[in-house]
Amino acid sequence: MRCSLTALVALSLAVVSLAGPTPSPYNVHEKRSVIPAGWTRTRRHENVATLPLRIALKQNNIESIGDFLYDVSHPESTNYGKHWTAGEISRKFSPSDETVSTVRDWLVKSGLASERIRVSPTKGWINVDVTVEEAERLMNTEYHVYTHKSGQEHVACEAYQLPEHVSSHVDFVLPSVHFDAKIKRRSGSEPEPARAIGQPGVGITPKTTGTVSQILTELEECDEYITPVCLRALYGLVYEPVATDKNSFGVVEYTPQAYLQTDLQMFAMNFSTDLIGKEPYMVSIDGGYAQTEYQGFDYNGESNLDLQYGMSLVTGNQTVTLYQTGDMVEGASFNNFLDAIDGTYCTFEGGDDYTEDSQYPDPYGGGYEGPEDCGTATPAYVISTSYGYNEADLTLFYAERQCAEYAKLGLMGVTVLYSSGDDGVAGNDDVCLNANGTQTADGVIFNPTFPGVCPYVTSVGATMVKPNATVTQVQPEMACMEVIYSGGGFSNYFAMPSYQQTAVDYYLETYPPDYPSTMWNSTGMSRGLPDISANGANYVVAVDGEFELVYGTSCSSPVSGAIFTMINDARLAAGKSPIGFINPTIYSAAFAGAFNDITEGSNPGCGTEGFNATVGWDPVTGLGTPNFPVLLEKWLSLP
């Protein structure tokens, strides 16, 4: 099933019917409880003003997407590894004719001429230009103009209603409560989170403690300096790829974040000589390029880290794809990237939300003038992303739509990895939730990250080598508690997936967190994160001609991605399918002991010590760190 806990969030579907004489009673379909920070409601919108309504239609069979994915991803399934084609996915989930006709008929019976109503070619949405007065009558709502402190205006409503017989066919309507309007950089104000993910300091970002005065490569020093040799020793990664022409590994970066080839070569000369003269294969999405106008750790640290370690661990024989996403003016969101690797997503459930996602060609001028990239890029078998939002940054509908796309990628055999965050149980920027749904530095409610909370991605937390420990010890690692804290906790949006239930139930029953239910989602029914972890402290990274020490789950995701890419190599060489969506497999009894259990440390945040790392799965380090030889043997034993 599509996993959501609508009772747990401020944005939810109400079930209270409103009495009235209409043939089908109206129900509240979507509601926002608070006005985002920086915005003020200033006036009612003019009745005669035009609103371009976009009605996102419910996808056929979407409620069963988790079951379909489980069928090809669980090691005990007879369909394990039998991934779907993009065409099969499109045919399975396209909206039904009944959905299209129901919504269209409602609009016509409400007084809109049929020639005004446009259905998209993929039947993903219905578009109709209406006056404010018509929209308010259609949806029993009131539209207001909201003004940002920068002076920019945005049109929205606090809630809207749909007829009961129509509501089940509609995911959401735009414009409506989806309020996170883009703040144009031309105004000098701060851009909103989704499309600003590549901006310095936005979302999950690596941290540095400064430059390294000497280069150390001995295994005895891995508690102070992590290099590729340390990671190979920690996780048993001794493998030379043999099926590189069949395999693929992708790393996603968001402009203005960009790697420097000179830094990659500096790193190669010191730690990975097989990368000398090599560079990633760059795929430009929506005008993305490896910009050099802005340099420094805030612009190069993330991309340099991802590529230097991701490329080193898969060796110079395996090409790594760099998906450089968004131009310098508009930027990009995760949705913009997903559009490029799956063209059906461009129109899925109404398509992108341009109050959140970047629109191309640039409607404001000065940015990328080419067409939006839809289905122009091939998804790699493993895709690592070291960026992320707070779950509360996004509406439930926005998050659910994106989460469903990750399930579709899993059906196609793609492994999707995301960093879990660097602020423990707090959200990015160390902010926590308040009871009214806002996020502040003095909030006290735990604030999980997205997309890690999506049950169809693999969320990666961070560990560190214990002080004075050596990588040859039985268990030299603990949860990362130096500079950053491994992001972890429980979703307020998504339900616990079945593959995780045994592990999470054991944790909650054996090590119940000693916090009141008002501080965290203690229902025992929500998605827990992270799923796994990898080292995230003291990485030696070449940045702008110097070596710096870098920390974060930004380190952990590409390292894990490289390890899974090498497992894919062995399976592809044996004539088998890629591992695809790994969560049902790694949580299964068949993979017990395939990860190094982390039992020390915690993830502080929100004025607490956070959760503790324990025996078994925990919301700090997940199942633990990868044991490559064991994982390789187990995955090669599967069909």
Is residue 572 predicted with pLDDT exceeding 80? yes
Lowest mean pLDDT across 39-43, 120-124, 228-232: 120-124
Binding residues for Ca(2+): 597-598, 616, 618
C-alpha atoms less than 13 angstroms from C-alpha of 23 in its C-beta half-sphere? 5
Q: Quick one: 121 exposed, middle or buried, by C-beta within 10 A (0-12, 13-18, 19+)?
A: exposed
Tell me the pLDDT band of 28, cut-offs 50, 70 and 90. Answer: very high
What is the three-class DSSP state of 553? helix
DSSP 95: P
Residue 160 makes CB contacts below 8 A (sequence gap 6+) with: 28, 29, 30, 139, 140, 141, 173, 176, 177
State the chain's mean pLDDT as an integer: 89
* Mean local confidence (pLDDT), 520-542: 97
* Mean local confidence (pLDDT), 535-556: 96
- The pLDDT value recorded for residue 45 is 97
Domain 208-636 has CATH 3.40.50.80: no
Is 544 labeled as catalytic in the residue annotation? no
* Mean local confidence (pLDDT), 296-319: 96
Is residue 179 predicted with pLDDT exceeding 80? no
Is residue 150 predicted with pLDDT exceeding 60? yes
Is residue 196 predicted with pLDDT exceeding 80? no
67-103, pLDDT tens digit by residue?
999 999 999 999 999 999 988 988 898 888 899 999 9
Is 546 labeled as catalytic in the residue annotation? no
* Mean local confidence (pLDDT), 148-175: 91
Lowest mean pLDDT across 31-45, 313-327, 411-425: 31-45
Is residue 503 predicted with pLDDT exceeding 50? yes
Tell me the pLDDT band of 367, cut-offs 50, 70 and 90. Answer: confident
Is residue 18 predicted with pLDDT exceeding 60? no
- The pLDDT value recorded for residue 202 is 64
- The pLDDT value recorded for residue 162 is 97
- The pLDDT value recorded for residue 188 is 30
Is residue 185 predicted with pLDDT exceeding 70? no
DSSP 457: S
- The pLDDT value recorded for residue 611 is 98
575-599, pLDDT tens digit by residue?
999 999 999 999 999 999 999 999 9
Report how far residue 301's alpha carbon sits from residue 256's, in angstroms, rounded to the nearest whole number: 11
Domain ranges of the chain: 6-59+94-187, 208-636
Choose the most confident range, by mean pLDDT, from 201-205, 211-215, 231-235.
Answer: 231-235
- The pLDDT value recorded for residue 540 is 96
Report how far residue 285's alpha carbon sits from residue 403's, in angstroms, rounded to the nearest whole number: 21
Tokens of 427: 């959200």
Catalytic residue among 248, 284, 533, 554: 554
- The pLDDT value recorded for residue 614 is 98
Residue with tokens 């300096």: 225
* Mean local confidence (pLDDT), 4-21: 38
Tell me the pLDDT band of 197, cut-offs 50, 70 and 90. Answer: low
* CA 422 to mean position of chain CA atoms: 15
Compute φ and ψ for 526, nearest 5 degrees: -110, 155
- The pLDDT value recorded for residue 205 is 73
Residue 466 makes CB contacts below 8 A (sequence gap 6+) with: 223, 476, 477, 478, 600
- The pLDDT value recorded for residue 352 is 67
376-401, pLDDT tens digit by residue?
999 999 999 999 999 998 888 889 98
Is 77 labeled as catalytic in the residue annotation? no
- The pLDDT value recorded for residue 396 is 85
DSSP lists the bridge partners of residue 419 as 460
* Mean local confidence (pLDDT), 220-236: 95
Report how far residue 296's alpha carbon sits from residue 543's, in angstroms, rounded to the nearest whole number: 7
451-482, pLDDT tens digit by residue?
999 999 999 999 999 999 999 899 999 999 99
- The pLDDT value recorded for residue 10 is 37
Catalytic residue among 306, 349, 548, 569: 306
DSSP 545: T
| Amino acid at residue number 240 | E
Catalytic residue among 134, 136, 286, 302: 302
* Mean local confidence (pLDDT), 424-431: 95
Is residue 441 predicted with pLDDT exceeding 50? yes
Tokens of 511: 């090590």
Prediction pTM value: 0.85
Measured torsion, CA atoms of residues 363, 369, 371, 374, in degrees rounded to the nearest 10: -90
- The pLDDT value recorded for residue 413 is 98
Rounded to the nearest 5 degrees, what angle is found at the Cα of 188, between the Cα atoms of 186 and 189?
115
